[in-house]
Amino acid sequence: MKSCRAVDLTEVRIGPRGLEHDRQWLLVTAAGRFVSQRSHPTLALLLAQADENGVSLTHPRAGSIRLDAPALMGASPESTQRVMVWKREIEAIDAGSAAADFASAVIGEPARIVSGFSDHFADGYPLLICTLASLEDLNRRLPEPLPMSRFRPNLVIEGADPWQEDRIRQLRVGGLRLKLVKACTRCVMTGIDQLTGKKGLSPLPVLREFRFDDNVGGVTFGWNARLEGGIGGLLRVGDGVEAEHR
C-alpha cells in the first residue's frame, strides 16, 4: 500500500511495474484523492502485507483487516472508478465499506481503500534506488544520523562511492537491467520518524546546502529508475551490481 510502513524483503519478484505487489493498494479521501504521510504521518504505522490473493493491514489505532484482491472480489474493469495521484487519474476498484471504516479509523476522517486493476499507485517511476555511501555522507553533516528508511528506497546499493548514483546511467542487478532516469526530489516525508509516525529531524535544510538541483527544482537524494530488462526475475539481497556510467 502506498505511503505505509516499509517492508524489508530478502528477495522479491520483479514485474512490469516494479516490485511484485508494490503500491497496488491505496488509501484515498472521500473525494478520491490519494492520502500519504505528507498529510497523515500515522500511515508510517500502517503495516501492509500483500500476496497474490490480497492484502492484510494492521494499524495500532484501527486494528487489522484482510482485503481480497480485485479478482477475488469479483471485480471487473467495468466496475472501476477514478482516483487521483497528484495530477494523474488512475482506474481503481473500491474495497468496500469495511475497508472504508478501517481507513477512516486510521487517518481520523472519512476515507476509503482502493486497489489498482491495471495500474499501480507510484508517483511516477516503479523503482527508487539509494546508496549507503550517500546516506553515510549525509549523516556526517547532520546533528544526528538518520536511517535509510527516511528515504523509502526500493533498492539500496552497498559499495558505491558517495553520490556515485548521479553518474550512473544503467545498472545490472542479478538478472535485471535498470535505467536511472531522474534524480528524486525529496519532501517533508523525510522528516517523519518511520517507527513512530511522528515528526523528527528533517534532512532537508542540510540537503539544500549541497544537493539542490535547479533542473528538477528541489533537493535530491536517490534516483528514480525504470526496468529495461529481466522482468519476471528475482531481486535478492546480496545480488552483485554492475554500473554503466554516463
What is the sign, positive or negative, of the torsion defined by CA atoms of 27, 30, 35, 39?
A: negative
Task: Give the list of residues 6+ apart from residue 87 with CB closer than 8 angstroms, or none.
Answer: none
- Tell me which residue has cell 546499493: 157
Q: How far apart are the first and last CA of the chain?
A: 34
Residue among 35, 34, 51 at smallest CA distance from 43:
35
Bridge partners, 63 (sequence order) = 59
Per-residue pLDDT of the chain (246 residues; tens, 9 = 90+): 999 999 999 999 998 888 999 999 999 999 999 999 999 999 999 999 999 899 999 999 999 999 998 876 666 555 678 999 999 999 999 999 999 999 999 999 999 999 986 678 988 899 999 999 999 999 999 999 999 999 999 999 999 999 999 999 999 998 999 999 999 999 999 999 999 999 999 999 999 999 999 999 999 999 999 999 999 999 999 999 999 998
- Which letter does DSSP use for residue 31 in this model? T
Q: Where are the domains of the chain?
A: 11-116, 127-245
* Cβ-based burial of 179 (10 A; exposed 0-12, middle 13-18, buried ≥19): middle
Whole-model pTM?
Answer: 0.92
* Cβ proximity of 223 and 128 under 8 Å: yes
